Structure 1
Amino acid sequence: MRDLSEQEQFWQGDFGDQYVERNQGHALVSANVALFAKALGRAHALKSVLELGTNTGNNLLALSQLLPTCEFNGVEINAKAHAQAQSLNIGDIWQGSLFDFPRERRYDLTLTKGVLIHLAPELLSKAYDQLYHLSSRYVLIAEYYNPAPVEVSYRGNSGKLFKRDFAGEMLDRFADLHLLDYGFGYHRDPQFPVDDITWFLLEKRP
């Protein structure tokens, strides 16, 4: 069994527990429903979804309202968040690091939302590989965008929040990935505010 990185331990521990407490509520799920409805508008015939970094399951809960016949799967490293997500009974939530999730099968859609921003730059290539190889067709990335990599202080912690062009890096890394759609969620949206998320829907093509 490998040793977890410092960042993985950070999210597995007390700070990850605190994150769970901050990210609750029906308004958050409703905003996610609106965001995913736009982000997946050009995706077709989704029958299986895998989210890397599920936390308490808010994203999968929103997706289940949009795709009621879909099979949902998640990966979550924090035990408290995993327990909450599993208790929703909307899918199978695997407890552990996204880097250790086995590539035993592929899913119609793999996604991250607010996860890649919290990974150290040296870990991103492994995360990109997981998103790509676990997907049979679509990859959805919903993160903080910046044209050049930049680090931002996160609740008084350094080395825990980064902005960059995650989608562009994946497009450069995998020749058969193509940009299908993209958009932005704004924190001042009068109806469905989200945390200034930029989303990119990528598709594998022969």
Structure 2
Amino acid sequence: MAEPHYETVQEQFWSGAFGTEYGTRNSSEALQASSRVFFSNVLGTAFDVTSILELGANIGLNLVALRQLVPHAELAAVEINAAAAGELRKLPGVEVYQQSVLEFAPRRRWDLVFTKGVLIHVAPEKLPIVYDLMAASSARYVCVCEYYNPTPVSIPYRGHQDVLFKRDFAGELLDRHPELELVNYGFAYHRDAKSPQDDLTWFLLEKRGRAGA
């Protein structure tokens, strides 16, 4: 079978060996426990979530945490890396789409659509595609969990250039999709003694008119 051709450097990077190695590096029980606390905070102001889509799920650690918090939710994942998608398919009850988020065209919507450390790795000029995807595929909530910076900046990442970007992703999403409004936000610090995360800022957005629905 021919290897898929990806348009951007970032897609090529994450579909290859680096994306595979990422899953190996980030699979400890401590990380899973920390993720449970993280998503417990995120879901604290999200109501009646019965279906969840993660864009860029890698091997599925976030979905494992969410399964423990919302046991009966329908879970789905989009993942570009073939090896990681193979691990995702081992998780019970997870619908897996092995493709780039830039090519994903869903035929349904989910109560919650989220990214966690994924938008930072999308080519900046392609971000509007992902913003539109998140808004269109969400029935109610969108959650952005990324590195925040008030202005766009590129950061060297493990010896590589132009594969990690910080910016105000949530602000750009809100500006592009005024049907969304901010519900809650928070910061997860790497020096938190009980549940450290990688200095992520998260923003929970909701479609207007859905509050109390």
TM > 0.5 fold call:
yes
Question: Between the two proteins, what is the percent identity of the paired residues?
Answer: 51
2:74 to 57, 71, 74: 71
Deviations 1:46-100 (A, max 9, x none): 1100000010000000000000010000000001111111112241111111122
Aligned residue for 2:196? 193
Amino acid at match of 1:98: V
* Cα distance in 1 for residues equivalent to 2:20 and 2:122: 17
Residue 45 of structure 2 aligns to a residue whose secondary structure is coil
Root mean square deviation, CA, Å:
1.2
2:139 to 118, 133, 136: 136
Assess if the C-alpha contact under 8 Å between 2:8 and 2:123 holds in 1.
Answer: no
* Cα distance in 2 for residues equivalent to 1:134 and 1:2: 25
**TM (normalized to structure 1)?**
0.97
Assess if the C-alpha contact under 8 Å between 2:60 and 2:88 holds in 1.
Answer: yes
Q: Any unmatched runs of 5+ in structure 1? A: none
1:84 aligns with 2:87: yes
Q: Any unmatched runs of 5+ in structure 2? A: none
1:156 aligns with 2:171: no
Aligned residue for 2:35? 32
* Cα distance in 1 for residues equivalent to 2:46 and 2:12: 35
Residue 112 of structure 2 aligns to a residue whose secondary structure is strand
Aligned-pair CA distance for 1:3: 4.4
Residue 8 of structure 1 aligns to a residue whose secondary structure is helix
Aligned residue for 1:7? 10
Aligned residue for 1:119? 122
**TM (normalized to structure 2)?**
0.94
Residue 105 of structure 1 aligns to a residue whose secondary structure is coil
Assess if the C-alpha contact under 8 Å between 1:181 and 1:200 holds in 2.
Answer: yes
Deviations 1:111-153 (A, max 9, x none): 0000000111101111111111000110001000111111100
Aligned-pair CA distance for 1:2: 7.0
Assess if the C-alpha contact under 8 Å between 1:167 and 1:200 holds in 2.
Answer: yes
Alignment length, in residue pairs? 206
Aligned residue for 2:148? 145
